Amino acid sequence: MKRIIVGATIAAIALAGSVMAQDAPFGMQIKARQGIMAYRALNIGVLGGMAKGEAEYDAAAAQKAADNLVATAMIDQSMLWPEGSDNSANPASTADAKGWTAEADVGGKEEAFVTAAMAMQAAAGGGLDGLKAAMGDLGGSCGGCHKVSRIPK
Ligand code: HEC
């Protein structure tokens, strides 16, 4: 009995090892950061839909989406962007190596997003006009970073 358990354990460890070996480089980090980005897209989509008149303005839903965007700014991303984890290491990523250069100033671009998300948080629940006014800076902050940190499509 004991031997069977030991055998099964060794088989399980070997399996886990082979799964990890097959895993593409930085797979976990890339998935995690893309998840944060997808969550940003989901929430800005709610706000953008209202700004464009595709969805009726709903103060509570707008506030929730803005709060969620700010929440993504609070997540510690220090483990998510190891140097070398760009598209050339793993095609699952659309990150460009130039995003790791000082010139790209991705930290500054993230700051711009945080500032815009907080402005949206202050405005979103207070009426459609305020939401619309905060939309440009917010959307621009996403694009501003993508321009310097993602491989051109
Ligand atoms: C500070 C830089 C930065 C900011 C700010 C930023 N992004 Fe990104 N985003 C990236 C990078 C880099 C990637 C590529 C990540 C990867 O594939 O490894 C990315 C990827 C994405 C993706 C693709 C995710 C996937 O599954 O491949 C979406 C969608 C996205 N961002 C939406 C947004 C939205 C919406 C905002 C603003 C509300 C935003 N991002 C703000 C840098 C940023």
Domain boundaries, the chain: 27-149
Q: Give me ligand 1 centre to Cα 11, in Å.
A: 39
Residue nearest to atom 14 of ligand 1 (CA): 95
Whole-prediction pTM:
0.88
- Give whole-number Cα distances, 147 to 32, 94, 144, in Å: 21, 12, 5
Q: Give me ligand 1 centre to Cα 44, in Å.
A: 12
Exposed e or buried b per residue across 68-107, where buried means at least 16 C-beta atoms within 10 angstroms of its C-beta = bbbebbeeeeeebbeeebbeebbeebbbbbebbeeebebe
Rounded to an integer, what is the distance from CA 17 to the centroid of its chain? 28
> Do residues 57 and 128 lie in contact, with contact meaning Cβ atoms separated by under 8 Å?
yes
133, two tokens: 């006014």
Give me the CATH code for the 27-149 domain, please.
1.20.120.10
Q: What pLDDT, on the 0 to 100 scale, is given for residue 11?
A: 58
Residue nearest to atom 6 of ligand 1 (CA): 142
> Do residues 101 and 119 lie in contact, with contact meaning Cβ atoms separated by under 8 Å?
no
Residue nearest to atom 3 of ligand 1 (CA): 145
pLDDT along the chain (153 residues), means of 10: 60 53 82 98 98 98 98 96 96 97 97 98 98 98 98 87
Q: Give me ligand 1 centre to Cα 35, in Å.
A: 9
